[in-house]
Amino acid sequence: MRTLAIDTSTVSMSIALIEDQTSKMEITTNTKIKHSKALLPLIKQLFTTVAWEVSDLDRVVVTRGPGSYTGLRIGVTTAKTLAWTLNIPLYSVTSLAAIAANAAEEDGIICPLINARRQTVFAMAYDSNGEEVEGLTMGHYRLADWLDQLKAACPDQSLYFISSDIDQFEELIKEHLGDQAKLLPAEKGVIHAPLLAKLELEEEDVATFLPEYAKLAEAEERWEEKHPEEAAANRGHYVERML
């Protein structure tokens, strides 16, 4: 089973070629590189280095979000195009599950966070088996509100927070949770594409698959303010119309 795995959901970007469960090559960048310019050349570099042809692929795996609007569109569009052209399956996994996989060895609740700006985050919580914590819902939250939900749902368990922006969240996390919170190093919050192939994946319909944004874009919020009636009837489609 030969897999191309793609993540462009955050500032960092990770791609890998994987044979069965073995990574043949990974490229991960953790700089503010423009995914639109870098992704295709780096994919080409992967195939050249590993000496595979694109036609050798058996499937494509991509993170579906939540995360950066632009990043998600680039990654998902690239994955869909390859899967459609090659007539191979397309699979997806949430970005938060991919981040949480970096802390699978921790004995407690894994709490991945993606910075959504203005003291808000994309968030979910996972148990030591990688299952979503019952009673919690993946989504976009004010960080303070999410911390309160975590405290209520997991009152007696250690909470391991993992994010590439953990330094920005440390003060508020400690204020709400004290010693119950364990902060993992920021580098743990970077998604690594080889892990995607080891997670529980969802097979997608290439024709209808869309990113999981989990929040409105700023442009969409402004549009809904100006067009409340149309927004109520067409919520969720504005971003795709603008592509």
Domain with residue 109: its CATH number is 3.30.420.40
Whether residue 236 is predicted with pLDDT greater than 50 in this model: the reply is: no
Average pLDDT over residues 105-132: 95
Residue 199 lies in a domain: yes
Q: Could you tell me if 184 and 199 lie in one domain?
A: no
Average pLDDT over residues 65-78: 96
Residues 201-234: tens digit of each pLDDT: 999 999 999 999 977 655 555 655 676 666 556 6
Residue 230 lies in a domain: no
The per-residue pLDDT for 99 is: 98
Residue 228 lies in a domain: no
Q: What's the predicted TM-score (pTM) here? A: 0.88
Q: Could you tell me if 30 and 115 lie in one domain?
A: no
Q: Could you tell me if 107 and 161 lie in one domain?
A: yes
Whether residue 243 is predicted with pLDDT greater than 50 in this model: the reply is: no
The fraction of the chain above a pLDDT of 70, given in percent, is 88
* Confidence class for position 239, pLDDT limits 50, 70, 90: very low
Q: Could you tell me if 163 and 114 lie in one domain?
A: yes
Is beta strand 159-162 parallel, antiparallel or unpaired with respect to 181-183? parallel
The per-residue pLDDT for 242 is: 37
Q: Could you tell me if 31 and 142 lie in one domain?
A: no
- The encoded tokens of residue 208 equal 């209808």
Q: What is the arrangement of strands in the sheet containing 202-204, beginning at the earlier edge strand?
A: 22-29, 13-19, 2-7, 59-63, 90-93, 202-204
How many domains would you assign to the chain? 2
Q: Could you tell me if 202 and 147 lie in one domain?
A: no
Mean residue pLDDT of the chain comes to 91
The per-residue pLDDT for 227 is: 65
Using the CB atoms, write b or e for 211-230: b if 16+ within 10 Å: bbbbbbeeebeebbeeeeee
The per-residue pLDDT for 25 is: 98
The per-residue pLDDT for 46 is: 98
Q: Could you tell me if 87 and 145 lie in one domain?
A: no
Average pLDDT over residues 56-81: 97
Residues 1-54: tens digit of each pLDDT: 999 999 999 999 999 999 999 999 999 997 766 888 899 999 999 999 999 999
Q: Could you tell me if 90 and 142 lie in one domain?
A: no
Q: Could you tell me if 32 and 61 lie in one domain?
A: yes
Residue 130 lies in a domain: yes
Domain extent, residue 153, equals: 103-188
Q: Could you tell me if 126 and 74 lie in one domain?
A: no
Eight-state DSSP code of residue 6:
E
Residue 149 lies in a domain: yes
Q: Could you tell me if 181 and 195 lie in one domain?
A: no
Residue 162 lies in a domain: yes
Residue 241 lies in a domain: no
Nearest partner of 163 among 217, 120, 215, 210, judged by Cα:
120
Residue 135 φ/ψ region, left for φ over 0, alpha for ψ in the -120 to 50 degree band, beta for the rest = left
Q: Could you tell me if 66 and 31 lie in one domain?
A: yes
Whether residue 154 is predicted with pLDDT greater than 60 in this model: the reply is: yes
